[in-house]
Amino acid sequence: MRLEGKIAVITGGGSGMGKAMAQIFSAEGAKLVLADISGKQDEVAAAINEAASASGANEVRAVAVHANVSDEADVQAMIKAAEDNFGRLDILCNNAGFGGPMAALADQSLEDWNRVHDTNIKGAFLGMKYGIQSMLKTGGGAIVNTTSASGVVGWKHHSIYGAAKAGVNQLTKTGALDYSDQNIRINAIAPGTMWTGLVEASQTHAEPPDDFPMLAGIPLGRWGLAKDIAYAALYLASDEAAYVTGVILPVDGGYSIGFSGMGAERPGIVSVNEGET
Amino acid sequence: MAARLEGKHAVITGAGSGMGRAMAELFAAEGARVLCADISGQQDDVARSLGNGGVPFQVDVSVSADVQRMIAAAEEAFGRIDILVNNAGIAQMPVPMHEHPEELFDQIIAVNLKSVFLGMKYGIASMLKTGGGAVVNTASAAGLTAWKGTTSYSAAKAGVIQLSKVAAVDYAEHNIRVNAICPGYVWTSILPGMGDTRVPPEGTPNPPGAPMERWALAEEIAAAALFLASDEASFVTGTAFPVDGGYVAV
């Protein structure tokens, strides 16, 4: 198995991409601390432990913790949960995030700036700060941050969110350089248009219904699914990616390649309201 | 766990040594059948060693007729091509641009860039007949940042990245994904004096400027190619993916 014996913390582990990471990491042998603010991390962890127990495992494979990733004490407790329950931290996925309202820049509020930046960038900073401190005690590890294509290219009406995610990209690169000689790799995944909480219909449909309108400008012509991101996270978190650090990997169906030329539709973003990404 | 390339059929150029050989070995271990293409003759031993029906093929990737025969040979052997890795390439010793020989420029562009065009032109034509596939091109960190003295090599590799992106948007609707890997310093025999040992011999100086302060092993590039070629990366296309120990993050 690709993560045999590894200990991972996943934020936003209660739903969407974080839940998919939890399921795939667990199937590949990792033990998990699932952190979320929603409460849904409890059932994800319970399902993993039930499945493990049904297949004869006599140990806890997943621990759920309540965490607001912008709260320093919560983040410290989340990292400590990995050390207390499993003895160490090998993998940290700073995945929790949300989009905030879509609006032109001058119509955005300072309140939303603070909320979006607290979760998306301060959360990633705190996770890395305390996750790295833990990894340094045991000889290294791998961090995977969930950023966004909107932090790489411009997305109309996503000024606050895009700025936060661009910041996460730079935290990723700088962190990678700071710890490249201490066996800690830091990378980010940049999802594009995801079929997760951001799109309301995804709450009731695991995959997009056939008649659901497709977004313009996605070369691969479909929504991103949580498992698409989770498999990229698996690769980056595993020892297979031992020479990969400081990378922002787009998993976006080709979105961030750019405008696809004459006759192609310009990328556009479906009008949605706030939700998790 | 199921093998990650079970039932897939792959063509890998430059498979006689270095990164291409590591890819051939890893892909075969993950269940793929591999046509091992190279100009060197070393592809014969590699194909024989795979133990999974590896097929050797001698090719000059800069010659259109050779590339067409290579694709036809894969179709003949496997019935279809699911994965194409345009990996063959050559390096140049650093030299200032005004002293860069024109013949060297033409040669590097032919082997490192035109080859990728030819591989995709005929490989994609084949994939279109069978419903799609995945292309992985070996570019370089030198295609993303400037490496001193590498006029033709860097220009060719930057071209490979842009070919990959254009092909990605051209064929996304036909279920063909195209990505490029951008290795940093990899321990292969691409330059004289590096030898063909799998790991750098004791005492080998570390490469300059790589934050991880070590050489990559060919296997580490192969692992990235495996991810991009597999269905796990089914939503990944048009990326230029650095596997460089942090080199381009600086």
In a domain, B225, yes or no: yes
ipTM value? 0.88
The Cα of B45 is separated from the nearest Cα of chain A by a number of Å equal to 25
Kindly state whether residue B1 falls inside one of the protein's structural domains.
Answer: no
Q: How confident is the model at residue B26 (pLDDT cuts 50, 70, 90)?
A: very high
**Which of B19, B220, B236, B241 to mutate to probe the A interface, most A CBs <10 Å?**
B236
Count how many domains chain B has. Answer: 1
Contacts of A264 in chain B (CB under 8 A): 169
The letter for the amino acid at B79 is G
Position A152 in a domain: yes
Give the separation between CA A240 and CA B166, rounded to whole angstroms: 28
| DSSP-assigned states of every residue in B40-65 | SSTHHHHHHHTSS--EEEE--TT-HH
| Per-residue pLDDT, B96 | 95
Number of domains, chain A: 1
Is this model's pTM higher than 0.90 or not? yes
What own/partner pairs with CB < 8 Å and gap ≥ 24 does B167-171 have?
A: B167/B120, B167/B124, B167/B135, B168/A219, B168/A254, B168/A257, B168/B237, B168/B238, B169/A219, B169/A254, B169/A257, B169/A260, B169/A261, B169/A264, B169/B238, B171/B124, B171/B128
Confirm whether B209 is domain-assigned: yes
Domain that holds residue A200: 7-257
- CB-closest option in B1, B220, B236 to A243: B220
Interval A137-190: pLDDT, tens: 999 999 999 999 999 988 889 999 999 999 999 999 999 999 999 999 999 999
The CATH number covering residue B51 comes to 3.40.50.720
Any A CB within 8 A of B72 CB: no
Asked if the structure places residue A263 within a domain, the reply is: no
SS (H, E, C) A30-64: CEEEEEECCCCHHHHHHHHHHHHHHCCCCCCCEEE
Residue of B196, B94, B202, B193 whose CA lies nearest to B148? B94
Residue A233 forms part of a structural domain: yes
Range of the domain at B140: 9-249
Interface size, chain A vs chain B, as Cβ–Cβ contacts under 8 Å: 115
- Comparing CB atoms, the residue among B1, B227, B244 nearest residue A235 is B227
- For B167-209, how does the pLDDT look when each residue is reduced to its tens digit (9 = 90+)? 999 999 999 999 999 999 999 887 777 766 889 988 888 988 8
**B137 min Cα distance to partner chain A (Å):** 16
For residue A249, what are the CA distances in angstroms to A190, A192, B154, B197, B238?
6, 11, 22, 31, 11
Residue B83 lies in a domain: yes
How many beta carbons lie within 10 A of that of residue B76, not counting itself? 11
Q: Do A180 and B246 touch (CB under 8 A)?
A: yes
Domain annotation covers residue B177: yes
Q: Are B228 and B241 contacting, i.e. CB atoms less than 8 angstroms apart?
A: yes
B153 in active site: yes
Asked if the structure places residue A276 within a domain, the reply is: no
Is A115 within the bounds of a domain? yes
Instruction: Sort out which chain B residues have CB atoms less than 8 A from A257's CB and list them.
Output: 165, 168-169, 237-238
Average pLDDT (B101-118) is 98
Q: What is the CATH number of the domain that holds A221?
A: 3.40.50.720
> Min CA distance, A96 vs chain B (Å)?
21
